[in-house]
């Protein structure tokens, strides 16, 4: 093939790739990135195998450059995928944080807003706190 044909194929591939990727919905980008990372892993293995069978120093330098670039591309792809998946993860809370589930929901934004309900619920009633050992609790008293 002539150099004009190679250039034509390259330009058409660029336009076709841009059109295909731009039409993909944003929810599919994470699975596509994971698939691309798998392909980059295969490319890295191929670069290692090709570099291992070199016969000249020029081929060795080009092979090592291919290995470095493939490694950077693959690790960067996994980092981007991990960051994208982190955007969809629910925030984790420590077990002692208010609103971490299982307990009172006061103070988590859905209650009175000040968190005073939780403090009042935790404190004993004032009448029973001031009663001594011989005093009645008010039940049945006239």
pLDDT at 24: 75
Q: Could you tell me where the DSSP H helices lie in the chain? A: 3-22, 29-52, 57-88, 116-122, 126-130
CA distance 135 to 142: 13
pLDDT at 65: 93
The answer to whether 67 and 44 are in contact (CB under 8 A) is: yes
Q: Report whether pLDDT(142) > 70.
A: no
Q: What three-state secondary structure class fits 70? A: helix
CA distance 62 to 47: 10
Residue with tokens 């291992």: 52
pLDDT at 75: 86
pLDDT at 25: 74
Q: Report whether pLDDT(68) > 90.
A: yes
pLDDT in tens, 9-54: 989 999 998 888 787 776 677 677 777 777 888 888 988 999 998 8
pLDDT in tens, 92-135: 777 776 765 555 554 444 444 444 444 444 555 555 444 555 55
pLDDT at 38: 78
pLDDT at 134: 53
């Amino acid at each position: 093939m002539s150099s004009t044909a190679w250039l034509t194929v390259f330009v058409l591939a660029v336009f076709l790739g841009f059109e295909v990727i731009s039409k993909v919905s944003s929810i599919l980008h994470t699975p596509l990135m994971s698939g691309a990372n798998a392909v980059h892993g295969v490319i890295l293995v191929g670069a290692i195998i090709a570099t291992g069978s070199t016969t000249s120093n020029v081929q060795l330098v080009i092979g090592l450059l291919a290995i470095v670039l493939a490694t950077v591309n693959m690790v960067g792809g996994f980092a981007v995928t991990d960051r994208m998946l982190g955007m969809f993860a629910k925030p984790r809370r420590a077990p002692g944080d208010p609103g971490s589930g299982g307990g009172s929901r006061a103070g988590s934004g859905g209650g009175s807003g000040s968190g005073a309900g939780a403090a009042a619920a935790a404190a004993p009633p004032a009448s029973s706190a001031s009663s001594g050992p011989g005093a009645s609790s008010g039940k049945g008293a006239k």
